[in-house]
Amino acid sequence: MTSTKDALGALRDEVCRANIELWRRGLATFTFGNASAIDRSRGLIVIKPSGVPYADLRPEMLVVTDLDGGVVDGKLRPSSDLLTHVVLYRAFAQIGGVVHTHSHYATVWAQSRREIPCLGTTHADYFHGPVPTTTHLEGAEIRADYEENTGHAIVRRFARLDPTRMPAVLVAGHASFCWGSSVGVAVETASVLEEIARLAYDTMTLNAAAEPIPSELLDKHFFRKHGPAAYYGQPPLEDAPATELRR
Ligand SMILES: [Zn+2]
């Protein structure tokens, strides 16, 4: 019988690579930030250990937890933000990976408690509308179960938002959380979020009255890349005609 350790080997490698990628792309410095992924069939999460420098990270150092945040495997303590990840996995059934970074420009918007308006098509290619900001937690929510309550604040903000169309959020006075179908996709989203946060900051520095693009242009760019009518990029191999495959 395959042990949980062996079965999760590929996911451990993926999560380790994703965490190192955050650091390599300059999205996470020191030990800030963390990436995780979920194995939905087993109900297990693989996450970065707390306080370990990215340069030292190895797949066997990652921590495996259940969907209550209980450690199932690992010698090190999990990331202190584990329970925020847990709440997101429980609330957003479609997601396979979560990334948290304090990347500079996204954090500037989070600290300013300003949502990032959709000022151009670079933004619209990835985020269907302004990137939302949470409200501050109440004192009692900070004193007890802070990380879990951060997750609940995000989920409350998404009451009328679709997490597959808006794969990022700015936590007020803190920084961003991003997610995706896999942890690799979540890293890409975190990278693009930083880029569009910087673009929006510079745009509004040059023109403080800059306005969001028309909704028709937003829809055009988002839905040509996402959803059933998407036509950007190349189709998966199985969609290609059989004659094409035989060549
Ligand atoms: Zn943080």
Separation of alpha carbons 34 and 15, rounded Å: 10
- Under 8 Å between Cβ of 36 and 57: no
Centroid of ligand 1 to alpha carbon of 81 (angstroms): 7
Q: Considering the chain, what is the average pLDDT of its residues?
A: 93
Centroid of ligand 1 to alpha carbon of 49 (angstroms): 14
Residues in the chain: 247
Query: Quick one: CA dihedral 113, 97, 198, 215, positive or negative?
Result: negative
pLDDT, residue 5, reads 57
pLDDT, residue 7, reads 72
Instruction: Take residue 10 and report the two structure tokens written for it.
Output: 């590929």
Percent of the chain with pLDDT over 90: 87
Q: Taking the chain, what is the end-to-end CA distance rounded to the nearest angstrom?
A: 41
Kindly state the average pLDDT of the residues 230-236: 79
pLDDT, residue 223, reads 95
Q: Check whether 238 has a pLDDT greater than 70.
A: no
Which string of DSSP letters, residue by residue, matches 40-85?
Answer: TTTTEEEEPBTT--GGG--GGG-EEEETTS-EEE-SSPBPTTHHHH
SS3 108: helix
Centroid of ligand 1 to alpha carbon of 20 (angstroms): 17
Tens of pLDDT, residue by residue over 139-151, are: 999 999 999 999 9
Centroid of ligand 1 to alpha carbon of 147 (angstroms): 10
Q: Check whether 20 has a pLDDT greater than 80.
A: yes
What residues act catalytically? 125, 232
Kindly state the average pLDDT of the residues 71-79: 96
Centroid of ligand 1 to alpha carbon of 142 (angstroms): 14
pLDDT, residue 246, reads 37
Separation of alpha carbons 218 and 14, rounded Å: 32
What does the CA dihedral 149, 155, 158, 164 come to, rounded to 10 degrees?
130
Instruction: Take residue 198 and report the two structure tokens written for it.
Output: 């910087």
Q: Check whether 241 has a pLDDT greater than 50.
A: no
Q: Check whether 208 has a pLDDT greater than 90.
A: yes
